[in-house]
Amino acid sequence: GESVGLHLPTLSVQEGDNSIINCAYSNSASDYFIWYKQESGKGPQFIIDIRSNMDKRQGQRVTVLLNKTVKHLSLQIAATQPGDSAVYFCAENTGNTGNQFYFGTGTSLTVIP
Amino acid sequence: GAVVSQHPSWVICKSGTSVKIECRSLDFQATTMFWYRQFPKQSLMLMATSNEGSKATYEQGVEKDKFLINHASLTLSTLTVTSAHPEDSSFYICSAREGGAGANVLTFGAGSRLTVL
Distance from CA of A33 to the nearest CA of B (A): 9
Average pLDDT over residues B86-106: 81
Distances (CA, A) of B34 to A57, A60, A82, B70, B77: 26, 28, 31, 11, 9
Q: B68 falls in which pLDDT band (50, 70, 90)?
A: very high
Distances (CA, A) of B54 to A75, A96, B51, B62: 37, 20, 6, 18
Residues of A in Cβ contact (< 8 Å) with B46: 1, 100-103
Of A50, A111, A52, give the one whose Cα is nearest residue A86: A111
Count residue pairs from A and B with Cβ separation < 8 A: 58
Q: B56 falls in which pLDDT band (50, 70, 90)?
A: very high
DSSP string, A44-105: -EEEEEEETT-SEEE-SSEEEEEETTTTEEEEEESS--GGG-EEEEEEEE-GGG-S--EE--
Q: For residue B91, give the chain A residue with the closest CA.
A: A41
pLDDT at residue A5 above 80? no
CB–CB contact A106 B42 (8 Å)? yes
Of A11, A66, A9, give the one whose Cα is nearest residue A34: A66
- What is the C-alpha separation between A99 and A113, in angstroms, rounded? 39
- Please tell me the predicted confidence (pLDDT) of residue A1: 41
Q: For residue A91, give the chain B residue with the closest CA.
A: B44
Q: A99 falls in which pLDDT band (50, 70, 90)?
A: low
- Please tell me the predicted confidence (pLDDT) of residue A4: 54
Contact B34, B46 (CB under 8 A): yes
Residues of A in Cβ contact (< 8 Å) with B97: 99
- Please tell me the predicted confidence (pLDDT) of residue A3: 46
Tell me which H or E stretch contains B67: strand B67-73
Alpha carbon A38 to its chain centroid, in Å, reads 11
Distance from CA of B83 to the nearest CA of A (A): 25
Of A44, A50, A43, A32, give the one whose Cα is nearest residue A98: A32
pLDDT at residue A7 above 90? no
Contact A20, A39 (CB under 8 A): no
Percent of chain A residues topping a pLDDT of 90: 68
- What confidence tens digit (pLDDT) does each residue in A33-73 have? 999 999 988 999 999 999 999 999 999 999 999 999 999 99
